[in-house]
Amino acid sequence: MILNSLKDQQIKKLNIKLENSEVEAGSGSLPEKKIKSMALTFKSQKYKAEQLAYFFRNADYPVVGYILNDTFYIDLKAIIPNQFQKLVKTINKL
């Protein structure tokens, strides 16, 4: 599991949690259906969600997430298995 690969200090500092999510299948403004997924959520006291989004977009291994209710999300449905270690490195660098 991805949380087990992260440094404990990063999990605490960034308040990272693994939560149920839904992604939209289809394209454009009319997605066809929602698919159950899991997302890493970041609700840090140190960084605003916008700062986290900027950091991840500009990292050595860029990651695109989304912001909802002042929380930054990385949906794991968008991460293919060979990218998990790169994601872990990126999170642990913050």
Domains and CATH numbers, the chain: 2-93 (3.90.1150.180)
**Whole-angstrom distance, CA of residue 2 vs CA of residue 24:** 23
- For residues 26 and 53, what is the distance between their CA atoms, to the nearest angstrom? 24
What phi, psi does 71 have (nearest 5°)?
Answer: -125, 135
Q: Decide: 92 and 84 in contact? Cβ < 8 Å.
A: no
Per-residue pLDDT in tens (0 to 9) along the chain, 94 residues: 788 999 999 999 999 999 999 887 766 666 677 889 999 999 999 999 999 999 999 999 999 999 999 999 999 988 888 999 999 999 999 8
Q: What's the whole-model pTM score?
A: 0.87
